[in-house]
Amino acid sequence: MPQDDIPPSPIADLCRDKGLKLTDQRRVIAHVLSESDDHPDVEELYRRALAIDPRISIATVYRTVRLFEEKGILLRRDFGGNRARYEKTDHGNHYHLIDAKTGSVIEFEDEVLEVMLRQIAQRMGFDLVTTRLELFGRKLK
């Protein structure tokens, strides 16, 4: 996909809102991240970005991901497997179920769980600000 054909993306918009200069490479990486419905690591982001722009280097992807993380555009996640994975910060309240065997991540929302977590926080004298829940499991046979 030529650079000029890359459509606007929510992450590119966030970059602009935060005053970041949007280079061609950053625009490609922002596009790839915006289109991702999984939690890619840097190497997977690199593979996807390289398919769009063969001039992108792995070092550029690492620097861009670090910058996006510092600016609050991306969240770094550790789901095991000795590799950081990333997701957009504007993803809303959700939880992760990680397959302990394959490392695949399933996102889910659960209103009952949300209410229960708020009640637990209130019982302990807190107002729940945000949640982070990662469940690791093995598929039932």
Instruction: Determine if residue 107 is labeled as part of a ligand binding site.
Output: no
Report the candidate in 17, 16, 43, 21 with the shortest Cα–Cα distance to residue 32: 43
Contact in structure between 76 and 70 (CB atoms under 8 Å): no
Q: Is the dihedral angle over the CA atoms 58, 63, 68, 70 positive or is it negative? A: positive
Determine the longest span between alpha carbons in the chain, in angstroms.
55
Which residues are annotated binding-site positions for Fe cation? 114
